[in-house]
């Protein structure tokens, strides 16, 4: 806690000094402060002709575009509007100091201290650290609940090159996207920031290869975890979590788009076509990854007789609150298919689609054949940060669509 207090005191004195309101093209090592620990990532900032800035977050190999950054008064705003997220900082020479804020339904609900220094983007080790460990491989991973009474199973994927570390964690409802870090001595460190999620992994590597440590998430989340090297570790089939209740073969829906038009599964546009339902949310990074895949795929394949419909489960059931977020998502990704407000992403989500046993996670992708029958329900999405698992998803997706079209 002392480190966080010291940071805030330094931040206060920084604000008293000079703050500039322009930036050259530059790269920064950024970090959020979670208690005693830094959660580092990179920032690449490029001035634009309109006086604003193009900003990319660097998570290992990922180069993630933020929304257009701008100065307001003496503060630089680096927003990720789709996640109601904003880095608000003051700039002085080679330093930035400020905070990460998140907004929910019109109110700022959480803040973490933020800092950035211009120059080399290293993560946890500024100089090349020494280590005799190599953690490359697949891991059976257990996130432990308080008092260790229960656990959640996941699969960890790590790739170490020298002392640099990249990887992700696969869960039944999605992945942890692009984690990156360092192996230092007998310890490993990884982090990721995407405007919505912020993850920090710190762990010790035992002589037998077992990894034990903690993961800090978001503003206040924390869990212990343990990972055992296991090349055969696998998640439950993604088609087993959500399914039709007995006696159902079809899945009917009628929901509004953001202009108030009611779109129904019985509409003429869907008759005799293969339909893909994307259960999604504008708040969901894994859903964004799936949308990045869906949009160009649909543009290339729609003429084959396929329709995609996004069923959006938002934090608010009110169109005046959730509609602008859905519209912003559609604009950001150039979504050419309908996005409908279907419900809220809480325990009541399943009530919107009563033929389902439950909505287990986001995204959930439902495949419907030309006769209107549900043929497969896939929970979660293995995004591009998962490597071969992403490639396998694309292969399986295309194979299933081709099969349904041929029937």
Identify the band that residue 194 occupies on the pLDDT scale cut at 50, 70 and 90: very high
Per-residue pLDDT band at 145 (split at 50, 70, 90): confident
**CATH number of the structural domain spanning residue 360:** 3.40.30.10
Q: What's the confidence (pLDDT) of residue 14?
A: 46
Same domain, 314 and 398: yes
Residue 124 host element (H or E): none
Residue 21 binned pLDDT confidence (cut-offs 50, 70, 90): confident
Considering its fold, how many domains does the chain have in total?
Answer: 3
Res 53: pLDDT? 96
Is residue 3 very low, low, confident or very high in pLDDT (cuts 50, 70, 90)?
low
Judge whether residue 4 has pLDDT over 70: no
CA count, 13 A, side-chain hemisphere, 240: 4
Q: Do 179 and 89 fall into the same domain?
A: no
Q: In angstroms, rounded to a whole number, what is the distance separating the alpha carbons of residues 326 and 263?
A: 15
The answer to whether residues 25 and 113 belong to one domain is yes
Q: 94: domain CATH number?
A: 2.40.128
**What pLDDT is recorded for position 6?**
53
The answer on 110 and 61 residing in a single domain is yes
| Lowest-pLDDT range of 130-139, 320-329, 346-355 | 346-355
Sorted by sequence, the CB contacts under 8 Å of residue 209 that are 6+ apart come out as: 135, 228, 229
pLDDT, tens digit (0-9, with 9 covering 90-100), for 94-106? 999 999 998 876 7
Residue 240 is assigned to a structural domain of this protein: no
pLDDT of the residue at 348: 79
- The percentage of residues in the chain with a pLDDT greater than 90, rounded to a whole number, is 82
Does this model's pTM top 0.85? My answer is: yes
Q: Give residue 205's Cα distance to chain centre.
A: 27
The DSSP output letter for 83 is G
Tell me the C-alpha distance between 125 and 189, whole Å.
9
Q: What is the pLDDT of residue 347?
A: 78
Q: Is the peptide bond before 363 cis (omega within 30 degrees of 0)?
A: yes
pLDDT exceeds cutoff 90 at 182? yes
Higher-scoring residue by pLDDT: 132, 17: 132
Provide CB contacts within 8 A for 100, sequence distance 6+.
Answer: 32, 85, 86, 87, 111, 112, 114, 198
User: Residue 246 domain-assigned?
Assistant: no
For residue 42, the Cα-to-chain-centroid distance in whole angstroms is 17
Instruction: Tell me what percent of the residues of the chain surpass a pLDDT of 70.
Output: 94
Lowest mean pLDDT among 198-202, 333-337, 384-388: 384-388
Lowest-confidence pick of 10-14, 29-33, 233-237, 349-353: 10-14
| 3-state helix vs strand vs coil in the chain, percent to 5 | 20, 45, 35
Tell me the mean pLDDT in the region 121-147.
90
List the domain range (segments joined by +) for residue 302: 254-406
Q: Both 324 and 390 in a single domain? A: yes
Same domain, 305 and 344: yes
Does 368 share its domain with 271? yes
pLDDT of residue 95: 95
Share the mean pLDDT of the chain: 91
Which pLDDT value is given to residue 151?
Answer: 82
Say if CB 230 and CB 142 are below 8 A apart.
no
Same domain, 284 and 148: no
Does residue 236 sit within a domain? Answer: no
Instruction: For residue range 39-90, list pLDDT tens digits in order.
Output: 999 999 999 999 999 999 999 999 999 999 999 999 999 999 889 899 999 9
Residue 132 lies in a domain: no
> Do 353 and 289 reside in the same domain of the chain?
yes
In a domain? residue 245: no
Q: Establish if 28 belongs to a structural domain.
A: yes
Max CA distance (Å), the chain: 70
Does 165 lie in the same domain as 114?
no
Whether 356 and 398 share a structural domain: yes
Mean pLDDT, range 316-324, rounded to an integer: 93
| Nearest alpha carbon to residue 281 among 350, 338, 364, 358 | 364
Q: Is it the case that residue 111 has pLDDT exceeding 90?
A: no
Give the model's confidence band at 16: pLDDT under 50 very low, under 70 low, under 90 confident, else very high: very low
How far is C-alpha 349 from the chain's CA centre?
Answer: 20
Average pLDDT for 126-138? 90
């Amino acid at each position: 806690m002392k480190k966080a207090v010291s940071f805030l005191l330094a931040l206060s004195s920084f604000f008293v000094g000079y703050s500039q309101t322009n930036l050259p093209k530059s790269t920064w090592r950024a970090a959020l402060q979670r208690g005693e620990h830094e959660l580092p990532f990179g920032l690449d900032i490029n001035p634009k002709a309109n006086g604003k800035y193009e900003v990319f977050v660097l998570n290992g190999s990922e180069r993630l575009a933020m929304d257009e950054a701008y100065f307001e008064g003496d503060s630089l705003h680096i927003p990720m509007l789709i996640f109601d997220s904003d880095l608000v900082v003051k700039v002085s020479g080679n330093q930035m100091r400020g905070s990460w804020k998140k907004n929910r339904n019109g109110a700022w609900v959480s803040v973490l201290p933020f800092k950035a220094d211009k120059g080399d983007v290293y993560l946890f080790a500024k100089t090349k650290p020494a280590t005799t460990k190599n953690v490359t491989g697949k891991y059976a991973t257990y996130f432990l609940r308080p008092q260790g009474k229960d656990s959640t199973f996941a699969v960890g994927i790590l790739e170490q090159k020298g002392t640099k570390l990249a990887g992700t964690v696969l869960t039944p409802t999605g992945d942890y996207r692009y984690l990156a870090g360092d192996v230092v001595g007998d310890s490993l460190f990884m982090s990721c920031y995407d405007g919505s999620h912020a993850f920090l992994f710190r762990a010790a590597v035992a002589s037998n290869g077992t990894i034990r440590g903690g993961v800090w998430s978001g503003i206040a989340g924390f869990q212990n975890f343990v990972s055992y090297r296991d090349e055969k570790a696998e998640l439950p089939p993604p088609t087993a979590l959500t399914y039709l209740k007995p006696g159902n073969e079809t899945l009917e829906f009628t929901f509004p788009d953001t202009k108030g038009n009611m779109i129904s599964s019985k509409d003429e546009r869907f008759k005799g076509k293969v339909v893909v339902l994307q259960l999604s949310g504008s708040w969901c990074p894994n859903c964004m990854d799936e949308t990045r895949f869906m949009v160009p795929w649909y543009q290339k394949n729609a003429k084959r007789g396929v329709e995609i419909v996004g069923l959006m489960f938002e934090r608010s059931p009110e169109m005046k609150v959730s509609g602008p977020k859905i519209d912003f998502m559609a604009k950001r990704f150039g979504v050419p298919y309908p996005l409908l407000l279907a419900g809220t992403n809480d325990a009541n989500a399943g009530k919107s689609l009563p033929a389902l046993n439950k909505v287990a996670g986001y995204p959930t992708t439902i495949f419907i054949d030309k006769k209107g029958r549900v043929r497969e329900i896939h929970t979660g999405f293995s995004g591009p940060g998962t490597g071969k698992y992403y490639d396998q998803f694309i292969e399986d997706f295309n194979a299933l669509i081709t099969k349904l079209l041929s029937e």
